Amino acid sequence: MSADTTSLFPVIEPYRTGMLPVDDMHTLYWEESGNPNGQPVIFLHGGPGGGTAPNHRRFFDPAHYRIVLFDQRGAGKSLPLGEYRNNTTALLVDDIEKIRVMLGIEQWLVFGGSWGSTLALAYGEAYPERCLGFVLRGIFLCTKAEVEWFVNGMKWFFPEVHQRFAEGVPAEERHDLLQAYAKRLFSEDPAIYTEAARNWSRYEGSCIFLLPQPDTIADFESDAVAIGLGRLEAHYMINGAFMREDQLIEDIGRIRHLPAVIVQGRYDVVCPPVTAQRLHHAWPEARLQMIADAGHAGGEPGIAAALVEATNQFKKSGKFD
């Protein structure tokens, strides 16, 4: 995560890490940092397939929070990288529960951005009794309209970036970019899926900040990020995140009694503000904070500051004022 670090807490290292086998195919990386006896918080990374990064620990006061990070199936340090088989939202939700039980945590604050917000809502609606509240950023609900926007709509703001993305597949297949990329991303040939994943990941990485961030684009093009991000984003988008259309909105009543804050960049092109507004309309008790000078990334200065403010508020009062 290329980030504005001025609002974040100091750099810390985990005090415990491990690898958790969750089935015959997937093994998850997990870590704990901060206060071992503190208030538990689970960080859910974006993508899907994006993985965690050291700066993700820094949204939380390490003197107060017991900070749990993990890499979801096929992402980051979890094995195997980019594996989309045995990989569904329901399985990811089950994985979160396995981590909670393994760590002996009764309840925790749930923090997620972008795809992490999707997963946070899915987890909360499945296990509301395990959640203390939610900090959500850059809302994505994986509806058909949002997927269509990601694949084709972003060209209205980033035409040259979208053109390069489209040119990653033959002209005769560009009428359906999602299927064209999926055919390559799900290939068994590493040379084919790696090239497609780099193209896909570069496309997203070029659009997430309000102002260009060359370091972010380079990071997104690296195999460690691109393979997980490209393969798993296409996998989940094609399958509607393995949920009913608009399931997260329809089931919001299961968590409306819990405190929540929604932090959204006004100029978020990847996950446009209309989705955050839809979520807030369905969940008026949640606080919607629109950041006037921000795009999508959690590292945008205004977004990073708002997220830290939210976790600080929660540690003091257990709610978001």
Q: Are residues 137 and 257 in the same domain?
A: yes
Q: Is 25 part of any domain?
A: yes
Q: Are residues 127 and 265 in the same domain?
A: yes
Q: Which residues contact 109 (CB under 8 A, 6 or more apart)?
A: 39, 40, 41, 42, 65, 131, 132, 133, 134, 135, 311, 314
Q: Is 294 part of any domain?
A: yes
Distance between CA atoms of residues 321 and 308, nearest Å: 14
Distance between CA atoms of residues 253 and 291, nearest Å: 26
Domain boundary among 224, 241, 258: 241
Active site residue 296: yes
Question: What pLDDT score does 212 carry?
Answer: 83
Q: Are residues 221 and 250 in the same domain?
A: no
Question: What pLDDT score does 216 carry?
Answer: 86
C-alpha of 57 from chain center: 15
Question: What pLDDT score does 1 carry?
Answer: 45
Active site residue 268: yes
Active site residue 317: no
Which residues in the chain land under pLDDT 50? 1
Q: Are residues 268 and 168 in the same domain?
A: no
Residue with tokens 């055919």, as numbered in its chain: 183
Cβ contact 109:40 at 8 Å: yes
Q: Is 2 part of any domain?
A: no
Q: Is 11 part of any domain?
A: no
Which of 2, 33, 114, 201 is catalytic? The answer is 114
Which of 26, 45, 162, 296 is catalytic? The answer is 296
Q: Are residues 44 and 180 in the same domain?
A: no
Q: Is 8 part of any domain?
A: no
Domain boundary among 199, 215, 241: 241
The tally of domains found in the chain comes to: 2
Q: Is 38 part of any domain?
A: yes
What pTM was computed for the model? 0.97
Question: What pLDDT score does 321 carry?
Answer: 78
Q: Are residues 136 and 261 in the same domain?
A: yes
Which of 2, 45, 268, 280 is catalytic? The answer is 268
Q: For residue 116, what is the domain's CATH number?
A: 3.40.50.1820
Q: Are residues 250 and 135 in the same domain?
A: yes
Q: Are residues 31 and 122 in the same domain?
A: yes
Domain span at residue 207 reads: 144-241
Domain boundary among 220, 241, 262: 241
Q: Are residues 286 and 208 in the same domain?
A: no
Q: Are residues 75 and 152 in the same domain?
A: no
Q: Is 157 part of any domain?
A: yes
Q: Are residues 148 and 163 in the same domain?
A: yes
Q: Are residues 287 and 195 in the same domain?
A: no
pLDDT, tens digit, 9 for 90 and up, residues 58-82: 999 999 999 999 999 999 999 999 9
Question: What pLDDT score does 4 carry?
Answer: 62
181 closest CA partner among 199, 205, 161: 199
Q: Is 6 part of any domain?
A: no
